Amino acid sequence: MAVYHGKAGKVDFSGAISSVLNWAMTTIGDIAESHGMGSTWKTFVAGFQDSSATVEAVAYTESTTKAGTNAALKLYIDASNYFSINTAVCVEQTETVNMNDIGRISYSFVADDVDVWSYH
């Protein structure tokens, strides 16, 4: 994959999230550890897959609550290439205000699908 710059990124969660400052996607493969009494070696078995994403954007007074909703989530790296998952749940929405900065809003998502992230 070619190098890309964040300035072309954007996020779509049942409609575009405006003024995105950054996004991050994390995928995790749980590992189950097993060993018996008297064993000298551990055995590791691949377990469940888990994924999450966070998005930070500029907060506006007309911001709508996304917490508790689910929809397709697309994380764009440029105008046409993106990572997507069929169903994500917004589990947290946080608005912050700092006296030396603009208001910001953060969203946290978890995957709610047997599908894994796909790249388009």
Instruction: Please state the rounded mean pLDDT for residues 26-37.
Output: 82
Burial 60-80 (b: 16+ CB within 10 A, else e): eeeeeebeeebbebbbbbeee
Residue 115 confidence class, pLDDT cut points 50, 70, 90: low
Q: What is the pLDDT of residues 42-91, one digit of tens each?
A: 888 887 788 899 999 998 866 678 888 889 999 999 888 999 988 899 99
Rounded to the nearest 5 percent, the helix, strand and coil shares of the chain are 0, 60, 40
Please determine, for residue 24, whether its predicted confidence score (pLDDT) is greater than 60: yes
Note the pLDDT of residue 1: 53
Write down the pTM of the prediction: 0.81
CA distance 40 to 66: 50
Backbone phi, psi, residue 89, to 5° = -115, 130
CA distance 98 to 94: 13
Q: What is the pLDDT of residues 77-109, one digit of tens each?
A: 988 899 998 889 999 999 999 899 889 999 999
Q: Where are the domains of the chain?
A: 6-26+49-119
Residue among 44, 35, 50 at smallest CA distance from 89: 50
CB atoms within 10 A of CB 11: 22
Note the pLDDT of residue 48: 79
